[in-house]
């Protein structure tokens, strides 16, 4: 066999593991039970089977005695032909009859109705009466709502608040836009450029409004900055906080796509889920580059979110979240102070900059994108000297600091105490308020 694909794979039990020659692995479909699941196996070469011959397939169940197939059947095909029982999701063409329920009672259907939009919105005449027609109507030039909502959410990402402060409600209960002309101009420009997100984002970030200082102006009574008299200041989303530490240190993997990964997570987080042994899942930490994938690819379990993500207000994804909450708690400081990700990133950054003319200034610029002031540089230099002195007296502590994380220590001629001291400086940079805040 050269390839195996399936309609569903239990996490950690991919169908490819059924042909890897390892008797301790295999294919499983926990989470997709009581549904038709299909596994397809491709041979390396085309089989030459004489007419009238019998093809025999043997299945082996050696991993778990309770993990067997209940009802199954085989189908064979030539290359490129899908087995006859394969399922494809399609939309039904027939229109479903919809009626007004008298007094809301399901057993008292009344007048039949057809799909239409409210009269206050652009007319639905001329569009197909199905979901495809609704899509065409949404993105039509006569309908400004979709474009307004889209650019408002983009604005919210860069300024903390949308031009309409209630991004999930453009109706009567929502707030009026603070700058209606700007909202309409951005929406119209978005439509005219054929819904090009890249050019809209470019316009926003290159604007004079976005380039302002975020320094608070006490002469203006505008704490929420609704007048856009300065740049907004807000904490970065959970994913960006982790990703920027990995990016600054050079650890971030730029791989795109692929299955979810399991980065560092404290032991025992998944233990208290009251799941029976037959349904229990285990957190198996990823290895290699998968430890440093973008946070977008982190395995997401709704019952127990990844701790560092939930601490920084990442949503559970049970429902669509248009606007995230933003809190400020001591637990967030504990994450950046103790999570192995930030210690490993600090060590890697220290190795990366130790050969520079001034390692502290180089690390500062990589993390904060600006040069340090004389006072900041002096504070960090004093910290480095204090920590080097400490580590020279306690070599075991230096070794513990430099051994955090799965990435191998890079070859360097630096004394362990010096490298550990520079690591502490880099770790301090990752814990600055300025580092995790958009200013």
Tokens 């054929």, residue located: 194
259, 341: one domain: no
Q: Which of 189, 180, 190, 185 is nearest to 226 (CA)?
A: 180
Tell me if 287 is assigned to some domain.
Answer: yes
Q: Are residues 18 and 71 in the same domain?
A: yes
In this structure, the dihedral spanned by the alpha carbons of residues 335, 339, 341 and 343, taken in order and rounded to 10 degrees, is 110
The reported pLDDT for the residue numbered 84 is 47
Quote the pLDDT of residue 90: 55
Closest residue by Cα to residue 155 from 174, 179, 191: 179
Contact 327, 234 (CB under 8 A): no
**What's the N-to-C CA distance of the chain in angstroms?**
55
**Residue 223 three-state SS:** coil
Residue 150 falls within a domain, yes or no?
yes
- Both 114 and 166 in one domain: the answer is no
7 and 24 belong to one structural domain:
yes
For 398, the domain range is 337-438
What is the per-residue pLDDT for 317? Answer: 80
pLDDT on residue 360? 96
Judged on CB neighbours under 10 Å (0-12, 13-18, 19+), 360 is buried
- 113 forms beta bridges with 98
Smallest CA-to-CA distance from 134 within 117, 150, 118, 121 is with: 117
Nearest to 351 by CA among 336, 337, 362, 338: 362
Contact 244, 257 (CB under 8 A): no
Is residue 332 in some structural domain? Answer: no
For residues 192 and 270, membership in a common domain is answered with no
User: Which single residue is written with the structure tokens 């063409």?
Assistant: 93
DSSP code of residue 13? B
Please indicate, yes or no, whether residues 343 and 391 belong to a single structural domain of this protein.
Answer: yes
Calculate the alpha carbon distances from 36 to 69, 88, 90 in Å: 11, 12, 16
The angle subtended at Cα 229 by Cα 227 and Cα 231, nearest 5°, is 110
Work out how many domains the chain is built from and give that number.
Answer: 5
Q: What was the pLDDT predicted at 74?
A: 76
Whole-model pTM: value is: 0.72
Is 239 among the domain residues?
A: no
Q: Are residues 374 and 410 in the same domain?
A: yes
Task: Average pLDDT across each block of 10 residues of the chain; the chain has 439 residues. List them in order.
Answer: 82 82 80 79 79 78 66 67 50 74 90 86 87 89 90 93 90 89 95 93 94 86 87 91 96 92 91 71 89 93 87 86 88 94 96 92 95 96 96 94 86 86 97 92
DSSP string, 55-81: --------S-TT---SS-------TTP
Q: Are residues 374 and 314 in the same domain?
A: no
How many CA atoms lie less than 13 Å away from 421 in the CB half-sphere? 23
Q: Are 195 and 241 in contact (CB under 8 A)?
A: no
Q: Choose one of 327, 347, 372: the last residue of a domain.
A: 327
Cα 246 to chain centroid distance, Å, stands at 15
Q: Which of 328, 331, 360 is nearest to 437 (CA)?
A: 328
Nearest to 283 by CA among 272, 271, 293: 271
For residues 305 and 272, state if they share a domain. yes
Domain assignment present for residue 362? The answer is: yes
pLDDT, position 78: 59
Specify whether 341 is located in the same domain as 391.
yes
Q: Where are the alpha helices (DSSP H) in 160-237?
A: 180-192, 197-205
- The structure tokens 């989470």 sit at 31
Task: Give the residue ranges of DSSP H helices in 277-339.
Answer: 307-311, 330-338
Pairing of β 98-101 and β 3-6: unpaired
Same domain membership, residue 166 and residue 218: yes
Classify residue 22: in a domain, yes or no. Answer: yes
Residue with token string 């740049």: 231
* Nearest alpha carbon to residue 93 among 150, 151, 141, 132: 132
178 & 270 share domain: no
Decide if 76 is inside a domain.
Answer: yes
| pLDDT the model gives residue 83 | 47
Interatomic CA distance for residues 227 and 232, integer angstroms: 11
241 found inside a domain: no
Domain boundary pick from 176, 207, 232? 232
């Amino acid at each position: 066999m050269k390839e195996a694909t399936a309609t569903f794979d239990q996490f950690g039990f991919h169908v490819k593991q059924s042909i890897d020659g390892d008797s301790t692995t295999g294919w499983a479909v926990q989470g997709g039970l009581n549904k038709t699941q299909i596994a397809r196996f491709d041979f390396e070469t085309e089989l030459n089977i004489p007419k009238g011959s019998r093809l025999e397939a043997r299945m082996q169940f050696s991993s778990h005695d309770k993990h067997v197939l209940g009802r199954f059947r085989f189908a064979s095909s030539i290359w490129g032909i899908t087995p006859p029982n394969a399922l494809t999701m399609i939309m039904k063409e027939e229109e479903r009859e919809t009626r007004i329920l008298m007094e809301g009672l399901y057993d008292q259907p009344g007048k039949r109705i057809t799909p239409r939009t409210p009269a206050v919105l652009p007319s639905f005449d001329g569009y197909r009466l199905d979901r495809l027609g609704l899509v065409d109507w949404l993105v039509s030039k006569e309908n400004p709502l979709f474009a307004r909502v889209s650019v408002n959410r983009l604005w919210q990402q860069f300024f903390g608040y949308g031009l309409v402060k209630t991004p999930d409600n453009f109706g009567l209960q929502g707030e009026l836009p603070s700058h209606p002309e700007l909202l309409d101009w951005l929406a119209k420009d978005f439509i005219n450029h054929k819904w090009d997100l890249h050019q809209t984002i470019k316009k926003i970030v290159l604007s004079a409004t976005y380039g302002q200082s975020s320094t608070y102006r006490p002469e203006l009574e505008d704490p929420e900055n609704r007048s856009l008299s300065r740049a907004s200041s807000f904490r970065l989303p959970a994913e960006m906080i982790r990703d920027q530490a990995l990016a600054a240190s050079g650890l971030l993997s730029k791989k795109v796509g692929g299955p979810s990964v399991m980065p560092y997570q404290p032991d025992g987080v998944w233990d208290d889920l009251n799941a029976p042994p037959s349904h229990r899942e285990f957190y198996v930490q990823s290895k290699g580059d998968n430890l440093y994938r973008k946070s977008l690819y982190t395995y997401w379990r709704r019952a127990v979110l990844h701790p560092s993500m939930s601490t920084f207000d990442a949503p559970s994804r049970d429902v669509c979240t248009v606007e995230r909450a933003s809190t400020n708690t001591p637990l967030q400081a504990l994450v950046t102070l103790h999570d192995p990700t930030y210690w490993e990133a600090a060590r890697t950054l220290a190795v990366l900059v130790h050969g520079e003319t001034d390692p502290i200034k180089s690390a500062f610029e990589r993390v904060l994108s600006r040069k340090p002031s004389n006072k900041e540089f002096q504070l960090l230099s004093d910290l480095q000297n204090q920590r080097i002195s400490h580590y020279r007296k306690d070599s075991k502590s230096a070794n513990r600091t430099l051994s955090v994380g799965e990435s191998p220590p890079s070859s360097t001629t630096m004394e362990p105490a010096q490298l550990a001291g520079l690591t502490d400086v880099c770790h301090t940079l990752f814990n600055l308020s300025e580092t995790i805040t958009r200013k």
